[in-house]
């Protein structure tokens, strides 16, 4: 290590674990918003959501290979292929829905609706995992879904296919999270990432080829950038939760709404309306409370990155 790098390393590891986790999450939030902006740019160029998603998944396969190599090919042995398959299907469909939603929604609106994922996870934890949820978290979940209704506004101008696609994305991610929680603790992160990436590429290859058009050089760079940006975002979120406590780190994820609003205005002239801000505020407050309850009860957080 060079002398110039030593002070920086000393500073970094001198920070409290929660501080490092918070900084990782802030970086992940910025990457998430930037990723959404890049998707909107690719969609504006005429690329199909399936094609964009497939390239992201293909890059994911390439990106996970070094982790598999490091862990050893023996780490890929699993007794739970069905769970991996369901997780991949849910996560892959969530990606497609998310990309398609960005074609119709403002970046800030899309980001705000994505915060509803932990609400779905609470319900699925009861139905699939048999977890017991007290009246406080049930109440917070109900209030959170009221926030979702405020944003999508049935009967209003905002109630459109894009909003429903964003909600479907949040639900799909929640399913992927719950499937990850069903896997035993000895199932390695490399195993989960590999089977998720491989299965989704296989499933979405034919649909993507059906709508495929040869991208330009600029579009190709954008697609590859989107793929690696997604991997970087995922890695940063994993690092955030591994470095700090979920109840401390999770709130910093909500800064992506600020970043998304800034990028949406700067790049596309978009501004979130009052209802989006109100609904997002309700969801943020309730999901923060759920995160607090998860930490207080000592559970594996529903906010943790699922590897999808």
Q: What is the pLDDT of residues 232-283, one digit of tens each?
A: 888 888 788 778 777 678 788 888 888 999 999 999 999 888 888 888 889 8
Q: Is 5 domain-assigned?
A: no
Q: Residue 243 has which token pair? A: 């470095």
| 16 within some domain | no
- 178 domain residue, yes or no: yes
3-state secondary structure labels for all residues of 27-41: HHHHHHHHHHHHHHH
Residue 83 within a domain: yes
CA separation for the pair 197, 91 (Å, rounded): 10
Domain count, the chain: 1
Region 41-50: mean pLDDT is 95
106: containing domain = 25-296
Residue 41 is predicted with a pLDDT of 95
**What confidence tens digit (pLDDT) does each residue in 124-133 have?**
888 888 888 7
Structure confidence at residue 297 (pLDDT): 64
Helices (H), the chain: 5-14, 17-44, 49-71, 81-102, 107-114, 117-127, 135-152, 161-182, 189-210, 217-243, 246-249, 255-268, 274-296
- pLDDT for position 308: 37
pLDDT of residue 62: 87
pLDDT surpassing 50 at residue 37? yes
- Mean pLDDT for the chain overall: 84
pLDDT at 207: 94
pLDDT tens profile 164-202 = 999 999 999 999 888 888 888 777 777 888 888 889 999
Residue 175 pLDDT: 92
Q: How many whole angstroms from its chain centre is CA 260?
A: 14
Per-residue pLDDT at 303 exceeds 60: no
Residue 132, domain member (yes or no): yes
pLDDT of residue 32: 92
Structure confidence by residue, pLDDT tens digits, 111-156: 989 989 888 988 988 888 888 878 888 888 888 888 888 887 665 5
> Mean pLDDT, to the nearest integer, of 201-205?
92
pLDDT for the residue 152? 77
Q: Is residue 90 part of a domain?
A: yes
Band of residue 42 on the pLDDT scale cut at 50, 70, 90:
very high
Is 220 within the bounds of a domain? yes
| More confident position, 8 or 68 | 68
- The better pLDDT of the pair 298, 239 is held by 239
**3-class DSSP state of 189:** helix
Is 177 part of any domain?
yes
């Amino acid at each position: 290590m060079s002398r110039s790098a030593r002070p920086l390393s000393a500073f970094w590891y001198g920070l409290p674990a929660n501080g490092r986790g918070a900084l990782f999450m802030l970086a992940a939030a910025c990457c998430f918003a930037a990723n959404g902006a890049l998707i909107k740019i690719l969609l504006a160029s005429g690329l199909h959501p399936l094609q964009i998603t497939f390239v992201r998944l293909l890059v994911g396969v390439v990106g996970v290979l070094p982790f598999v190599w490091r862990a050893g090919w023996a780490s890929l042995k699993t007794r739970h292929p069905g769970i991996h398959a369901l997780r991949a299907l849910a996560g892959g469909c969530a990606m497609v829905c998310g990309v398609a939603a960005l074609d119709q929604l403002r970046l800030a609106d899309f980001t705000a609706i994505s915060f509803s994922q932990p609400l779905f996870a609470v319900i699925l934890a009861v139905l699939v995992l048999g977890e017991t949820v007290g009246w406080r978290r049930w109440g917070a979940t109900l209030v959170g879904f009221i926030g979702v209704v405020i944003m999508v506004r049935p009967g209003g101008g905002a109630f459109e296919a894009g909003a429903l696609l964003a909600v479907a994305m949040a639900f799909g991610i929640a399913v992927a999270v719950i499937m990850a929680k069903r896997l035993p603790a000895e199932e390695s992160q490399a195993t989960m990432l590999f089977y998720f990436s491989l299965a989704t590429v296989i499933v979405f290859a034919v649909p993507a080829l059906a709508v495929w058009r040869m991208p330009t050089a600029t579009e190709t760079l954008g697609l590859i950038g989107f793929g690696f940006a997604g991997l970087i975002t995922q890695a940063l979120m994993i690092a955030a939760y591994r470095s700090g406590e979920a109840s401390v780190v999770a709130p910093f994820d909500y800064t992506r709404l600020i970043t998304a609003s800034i990028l949406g205005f700067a790049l596309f002239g978009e501004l979130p309306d009052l209802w989006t801000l109100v609904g997002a505020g309700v969801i943020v407050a309730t999901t923060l409370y759920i995160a607090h309850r998860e930490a207080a009860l000592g559970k594996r957080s529903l906010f943790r990155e699922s590897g999808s």
